[in-house]
Amino acid sequence: MMISRRGTLRLAALGTAAAVVPKPSFATNRVRIGVLKFGTVSWALDTLKHHRFDAANGIDLEVVDFAGEDATNVAMLAGAIDMIVSDWLWVSRQRSEGVDLTLVPYSTAVGAIMVKEGVPIRTITDLRGKKLGVAGGPLDKSWLLIQALARRDHGLDLPATSDIVFGAPPLISEKAMQGELDAVLNFWHFCARLEANGFRRLIGADAAAKALGASGAVSALGYVFHDKWANEHPDAIGGFIKASAQSKDLLARSDDEWLRLAPVIRAQGEELAKLRDRYRGGIPRRPVAEDAADAGKLYRVLAEIGGEKLVGRAPEMAPGTFWQVPPQ
């Protein structure tokens, strides 16, 4: 979603943001991050705050809850918060329009097409004529990547040959469980819950990305902030990156930490284990430069299939979309 500066002011005036915007902070190392109240980002931030990794790294992290993604974007562009989590397509489009947003990788976890165990759907071509539920809308990155792969390798136009139903992630999962859909493409954590309830992965967007030219796992989301803010507060951004890494390291190695988070995640048993394992698989492990290079390759694929509605008029990912940590 692209929001112009004029649109930002109009949306703000209409009260789009569903949270009370915090007063500006003058503490040098205060970091205000806006997140979806029940989103997966809150798991890592809960770990970070619980173990006081922010204080250990010289920052004071303030978590501001919002009810929807549009609201966080508006608050970010309005300067009401210092950081959000979003994808590199949105950041690149903002940069191409002159807004100095950038990001550091947060997660490579992406969605997948899920089918019930026992259903005779084994390849993408088996989706021809089937009813496919898609979360995230027609311009969702995962949906576009899988479409691109289907067209290139199988000559299959999924929107034309399948019955596509778009819907909110929880509804798509519910309809799949009820047997009203033959297959569903959903966000990674909804897929993990489906895995724990008798579903299997047909193909993930990560596999599609690699088939389309990525050399490794590409971060789907990142911590987004303004260049200007990072340059003016190097200790704050540096401390946050270190604190975030410590929280992810703990989540990567401690099963007990996941048990502590179970009430926040609202899962237990096999479902909690699937979420834990998929989360761990999505922790970025490679240099930012490699991530950025692969994102640039995928940008061109997505621009071709999604067109101006997705990327605007920029044929290439904007330079600086991925923030490089300044040399010490």
pLDDT at 5: 41
91, 73, 90: which is closest to 35 by C-alpha? 73
Q: How far apart are CA 169 and CA 246, in angstroms?
A: 30
pLDDT score of 26: 41
Q: CATH 3.40.190.10 in the chain: give the residue spans.
A: 5-107+218-311, 112-211
Q: What is the mean pLDDT of each run of 10 residues along the chain (328 residues)?
A: 42 39 53 93 97 97 94 94 97 96 97 96 96 95 97 96 97 96 98 97 97 96 97 96 97 98 97 98 96 97 94 94 79
Whole-angstrom distance, CA of residue 113 vs CA of residue 146: 9
The Cα 77–Cα 226 span in angstroms is 9
Q: What are the tokens at 301?
A: 């694929």
Nearest CA-CA partner of 12 in 126, 20, 259, 272 = 20
Q: Where are the beta strands (DSSP E) in the chain?
A: 30-36, 60-66, 84-87, 101-107, 112-116, 131-135, 163-167, 183-186, 199-204, 221-226
CA 310 to chain centre: 16
Whole-structure pTM value: 0.89
**Selecting from 3.40.50.300, 3.40.190.10, 3.90.930.12, 3.40.50.720, what CATH number does the domain 112-211 have?**
3.40.190.10
Angle at 35 (CA atoms; ends 229, 280), nearest 5 degrees: 100
Query: Does CATH place domain 5-107+218-311 in 3.40.190.10?
Result: yes
Strand-by-strand arrangement of the 112-116 sheet:
163-167, 131-135, 183-186, 112-116, 199-204
